[in-house]
Amino acid sequence: MNRPKLAVPLLALAAALLFSAGCGRKHESVAPPAEPAPVSAPVAVAAVAAAPATIEVTGTVEPIERVSPGTKLMGRVERVYVDEGEAVRKGQVLARLESRDLAASVEQAKAGVAMADAQLANAEAMHRRMTALVERGSATAKNLEDATAGYNMARAGLQQAQANLSAARVMMDYAVITTPIAGFVTAKRIEAGDMAAPGMPLFTIDDMSRSKIVAAVPEAQVVGLAEGGPATVRIDVLETPVAATIDRIVPAGDSMSRTFSVQLLIENPGTAIKPGMYARIWFPAGTAQSLTVPRAAVVERGQLQGLWVLDAQGRARLRWVRLGAVTGDRVEVLSGLAAGERYISAPPAGIVDGAPVSGAPSTGTAR
């Protein structure tokens, strides 16, 4: 097949144009990236020094006291007086069960007491008359014995009737559910019209005037702890550390996890600390050699924590680190920073990676 005569010149022209375009790009200049602006910031040198050693564990906030009021009766709930979240005082009525049958039992017991009282009065009068007749010789000793036995039986009958009345009133009291402590209603498990069963917890009341922190401490670390010892607690959502005291160390450990339950007490003004919150606990454990940095040097990005470290050219590089215990205004660096490295102890706002840093050593560089 014969090709058109113009095909070969056109192909040659296209190849020449492509070669020319490629050569032109080779000589184009690419602008270098913008140099980060230099920053002035205090610089410190990381160093290992003696610092207070701590044992860090985690725990959960619990109320200082928790009760779950219920009833010994099987009955329908007539009325509920409180809702979840309400503050209640000691002895306050929480709910009431239907109690018409119990009220009738109380009235019946009252009538029994009245009857027994009347029988005792009659037996006592008979005993007095028989005693007088025996003294005059008008009755036998057997008559007096019968009168005495009747009097004693009547007195016992009155005591039994009074006990029945007390029992009926106690059963009547079971129809009224009250709280034995002051606190907050944290759970309500019934509504009006529900059936209550004996032993069924109907409410949960938490006393949050103080809080209890329960932590599981490994067996290797619980040896140095003692009741009454100090600790520092930090509730993550509240952030502010608070002083605590070891209230109790449960002597029996968990055979699976090899941990022991340690309970601490903290004050809770305004009930800002709520049951169920997550807590971090630090127990003092003497001193140890550690590398610490000021808390102001730590940069937080979500769950990550880092430091601005200077490289060999004096440029700032953000490096993620793992932190440990917090002591005052210092925080322990467990990994990510080595002794002798320089870091920015108070990073300025707007600092970017690679920025040249100039600054005088900050106070505390030896640490």
Residue 53 domain-assigned (yes or no): yes
Q: Do 234 and 334 fall within a single domain?
A: yes
Q: Do 151 and 181 fall within a single domain?
A: no
Please give the pLDDT value at position 264: 93
Nearest-5° Cα angle at 152, 151 to 158 = 90
Nearest CA to 353 among 44, 40, 37?
37
Sign of torsion over alpha carbons 94, 100, 101, 106: positive
Please give the pLDDT value at position 362: 54
Residue 42 domain-assigned (yes or no): no
Residue ending a domain, among 125, 158, 174, is 174
Residue 17 domain-assigned (yes or no): no
Residue 342 domain-assigned (yes or no): yes
Q: Do 250 and 188 fall within a single domain?
A: no
Please give the pLDDT value at position 364: 44
Residue 331: Cβ-neighbour burial (10 angstroms; 0-12, 13-18, 19+): buried
CATH number, domain containing residue 299: 2.40.30.170
Q: Do 183 and 250 fall within a single domain?
A: no
Phi, psi of 194 (to 5 degrees): -70, 160
- Which portions of the chain are predicted below pLDDT 70? 1-33, 360-367
Q: Do 218 and 228 fall within a single domain?
A: yes
CATH number, domain containing residue 197: 2.40.50.100
SS3 (DSSP) at 330: strand
Token representation of residue 156:
């016992």
Neighbouring C-alpha atoms within 13 Å toward the C-beta of 248: 9
Please give the pLDDT value at position 216: 92
Q: Do 164 and 239 fall within a single domain?
A: no
Q: Do 122 and 192 fall within a single domain?
A: no
pTM for this entry: 0.61
Residue 168 domain-assigned (yes or no): yes
Nearest-5° Cα angle at 239, 237 to 244 = 105
DSSP for 168-218, written as a single string: HHHHHHTTEEE-SS-EEEEEE---TTPEE-TT---EEEEEEEEEEEEEEEE
Residue 123 domain-assigned (yes or no): yes
Neighbouring-strand partners of residue 45? 342
| Percentage of the chain lying above the pLDDT 70 cut | 89
Residues 234, 225: contact at Cβ < 8 Å? no
Neighbouring C-alpha atoms within 13 Å toward the C-beta of 203: 30
pLDDT tens figures, 88-107: 999 999 999 998 888 888 89
pLDDT tens figures, 130-141: 888 888 888 888
Residue 23: Cβ-neighbour burial (10 angstroms; 0-12, 13-18, 19+): exposed
Residue 55 domain-assigned (yes or no): yes
Q: Do 217 and 195 fall within a single domain?
A: no
Q: Do 327 and 229 fall within a single domain?
A: yes
The C-alpha atoms of residue 229 and residue 250 are separated, in whole angstroms, by: 15
Please give the pLDDT value at position 343: 95
CATH number, domain containing residue 154: 1.10.287.470
Q: Do 254 and 354 fall within a single domain?
A: yes
Q: Do 233 and 114 fall within a single domain?
A: no
Please give the pLDDT value at position 361: 62
The C-alpha atoms of residue 116 and residue 79 are separated, in whole angstroms, by: 36
Q: Domain of 157?
A: 99-174
Neighbouring-strand partners of residue 290? 49
SS3 (DSSP) at 274: coil
Residue 306 domain-assigned (yes or no): yes
Q: How many domains does the chain have?
A: 3
Q: Do 323 and 259 fall within a single domain?
A: yes
Token representation of residue 191:
């509504």
